[in-house]
């Protein structure tokens, strides 16, 4: 079956522009996560969706970042007024569910979108 | 604050030897811990999950230990192969769903 897909694979934009990054999770996975990875660092959590709702957006760095998942499958991460510091690889992951008590689920990651802000 | 620390230096070993990677954490008592592998230009791939009440978990040539007293997990690859060369990430969940990752340890297995 298909894994998590992300588009575009690369995005170069000018400082101040608006960008949208798309994630298509594994079919049937209710949980979807966005992470950001800078060079030499591990992924950093941004936001988590359970179904259509954002269950936790505490990792979003500021109000320029916003994400949606209107139908509970595809998600879009939106960044307004991009800054050079936003340059990173943006990773999307999905899992069967979030964690429930003692039953955690492994996360399946997409290949990421490399965002470069010039 | 909660921290996850992995060997910052790359680990170079010879093919056939056992690679041991370390993950230490502070100011937290996680219910479980996960290990992921990441190749250049790709997203992380899940390898193993170990719960706080499990001392050791094995999967083929991989072995993970979890010492909640030392707040440490060790990840072993036995009979290592050049194809095992990658970055290995340790991850904990501080809040039940989102993962917090260490910086990762780069492993290079030479023939």
CB B57 within 8 A of CB B2: no
Q: Which residues does chain B have within 8 Å of residue A56's beta carbon, measured at their own beta carbons? A: 95, 97-98
Contact of A48 with chain B, judged by CB distance below 8 Å, is answered with yes
d(CA B89, CA A27) in angstroms, rounded, equals 26
> Hey, is the C-beta of B30 within 8 angstroms of any chain A C-beta?
no
Alpha-carbon gap, residue A64 to A66, rounded angstroms: 7
Measured between alpha carbons, how far is B5 from B31 in angstroms, rounded to an integer?
Answer: 17
The string of pLDDT tens digits covering residues A69-115 is 999 999 999 999 999 999 999 999 999 876 555 567 889 999 999 99
Which domains does chain B carry?
3-110 (2.60.40.10)
Q: Write down the CATH number for the domain with range A15-97.
A: 2.60.40.10
Residues of A whose CB is below 8 A from B45: 109
Comparing CA positions, the residue from B98, B76, B88 lying closest to residue B30 is B98
Higher pLDDT, A58 or A1: A58
Over chain A, what is the mean pLDDT? 93
User: How do residues B24-70 score in pLDDT, each as one tens digit?
Assistant: 999 888 888 999 999 999 999 999 999 888 989 999 999 999 999 99
């Amino acid at each position: 079956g298909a894994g998590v897909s992300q588009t575009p694979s690369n995005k170069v934009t000018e400082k101040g522009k608006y960008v949208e990054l798309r994630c298509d999770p594994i079919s049937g996975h209710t949980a979807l996560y966005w992470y950001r990875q800078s060079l030499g660092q591990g992924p950093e959590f941004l936001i988590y969706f359970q179904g259509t709702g954002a269950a936790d957006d505490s990792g979003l760095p500021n109000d320029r970042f916003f994400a949606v998942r209107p139908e509970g499958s595809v998600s879009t991460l939106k960044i307004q007024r991009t800054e050079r510091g936003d340059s990173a690889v943006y990773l999307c992951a999905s899992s069967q569910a979030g964690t429930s008590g003692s039953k955690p689920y492994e996360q399946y990651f997409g290949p990421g979108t490399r965002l470069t802000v010039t | 604050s909660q921290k996850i620390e992995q060997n910052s230096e790359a680990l170079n070993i010879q093919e056939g030897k056992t690679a041991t990677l370390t993950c230490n954490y502070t100011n937290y008592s996680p219910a479980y811990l996960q290990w992921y592998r990441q190749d250049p230009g790709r997203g992380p791939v899940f390898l193993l999950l170990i719960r706080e009440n499990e001392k050791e978990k094995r999967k083929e040539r991989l072995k993970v230990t979890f010492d909640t007293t030392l707040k440490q997990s060790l990840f072993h690859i036995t009979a290592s192969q050049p194809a095992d060369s990658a970055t290995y990430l340790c991850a904990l969940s501080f809040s039940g769903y989102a993962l917090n990752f260490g910086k990762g340890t780069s492993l290079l297995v030479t023939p």
